[in-house]
Structures are given as C-alpha cells and as structure tokens.
Amino acid sequence: MTKYASDIAFTPVVKAIQAEKGSRASYARMEQRASWQTKVTSDLAGFLSELDMFYLGTSNSTGQPYIQYRGGPRGFLKVIDDTTLGFADFGGNQQYITLGNLSENPKAFIFLMDYANQRRVKLWGSARVVENDPRLLRELSDDSYSAKVERAIVFKVSAWDINCPQHIHRRFPEQQIAPLVNQLQLRIKDLEAKLAKLEPNTSRSMADRSETKLHDDHP
C-alpha cells in the first residue's frame, strides 16, 4: 500500500538517491501537495483528444522492458471512465511483443508527447488485451481511419504526472504544417507568374537603355 500516488515511481531506492542528490526535499513538498493524479481529469481528457500518437511501455516476466510507438487518428487513445483508457490495436508487423509481455506482466506505462506545445504526460498503470469484444471495438474505433482493428487494449490508470517542458524540441504534425506549406507554394507560383509577365518588358527596357547609351557614346 503506497502513501502517495507518486510512490509508484518514487520507490525507497529512488527516494534515497533523491536525498543523496539533493532533490528529496522539493519532491517531499510535492508529495504533501498530492500533485500526482490518480483519475482522468478534464484536462487530461482534453490533452488525449488532441494527440495522434503515444509510446507504450511493457516488460516481460524477467523485467526486460519494451517500448512501442502507437499511432492512429487524433484522439484514438480514448477515455472509458475516470480511471480507464483504451485504444484500438491496429494490425502491424505481427511480432506481438506487447501482447506477450502483457500476458505475463500487466504493468504498463504510457508516455504522451505533444511536441508542438512542448508538453509531456506520464501514466503508470496496468493494461490488458481484449479480444472479440465488438461493442468495445466499436467504441474505440474511428471509421475515418482505414487501418484494420484487431483487438482492444485497455489501460487502468494508477497515477499520472505532467512533466516539465525542458529539453523538448518542437516538432509539428504534417496535418498542421501542410496547409501552411500549401499557402507558401501558391504564393510562390503567383509571384513567379507576375515576374514572368514583367520579364519581357524588363528585357526590352534594358535593351533600349543599352542602345541609347551606345548612341550617346558614339555620336
């Protein structure tokens, strides 16, 4: 039984290292404020609704960790209730490492990244694979996304924390950048067309000036 939600990550060994390195006092104050959450808040739900990717961490029975990138339509990691998230598991390379790990060890970790706004959220919990549940699959699926849904993965939240933005390099999704690039390309084409119309007149004007100068130099 843990005293604080953050104890899921701040084990006695971790706290001892924090004390040795000088950060324990500040984290002890954080614990008193109960700054780590154990339920899905409206802020977290809004954050999830904007993301189209995350990283899922699992480990097997021997403790060997594995991180998998998960991508899909925006908001595909959905809120089921105030302590549960779920997502559709799309067909992939058929290695099934995550499925194998979860069959031995349900502990899991979700790492959420919003590169554009330099935000990251960490979620500790447990996960389970759900096969052959049409109702749940319908709830988690998005008809606008063409990938084949093979199963669902349900994640039970134990604790979550918002991490500081330090050292996050800003990156922007294609769907956000593409309209801006398209506008610039159209602007370039427009300017090129206007320049092309000016070039014949500019060439004639330069030729006239050259001829005039030639006559002035040789009366």
Domain-by-domain residue ranges, the chain?
36-163, 172-219
| Prediction pTM value | 0.79
Q: Does position 100 have pLDDT exceeding 60, yes or no?
A: yes
The pLDDT tens digits for 46-97 are 999 999 999 999 999 999 999 999 999 999 999 999 999 999 999 888 899 9
The pLDDT tens digits for 167-216 are 777 777 777 788 888 898 989 998 888 888 887 666 566 556 666 554 55
Amino acid at 165: P
Q: Does position 124 have pLDDT exceeding 90, yes or no?
A: yes
Cα–Cα distance measured from residue 188 to residue 177, given in angstroms and rounded to the nearest whole number: 17
Of the candidates 82, 98, 117, 111, which has an alpha carbon nearest to the alpha carbon of residue 9? 111
Give the pLDDT band of residue 162 (cuts 50, 70, 90). confident
pLDDT of 174 reads 75
The CATH code that applies to domain 36-163 is: 2.30.110.10
pLDDT of 213 reads 56
Instruction: Kindly report which listed range (91-95, 141-145, 159-163) carries the lowest average pLDDT score.
Output: 91-95
Cα–Cα distance measured from residue 92 to residue 98, given in angstroms and rounded to the nearest whole number: 12
- Reported residue count of the chain is 219
Of the candidates 158, 101, 91, which has an alpha carbon nearest to the alpha carbon of residue 129? 101
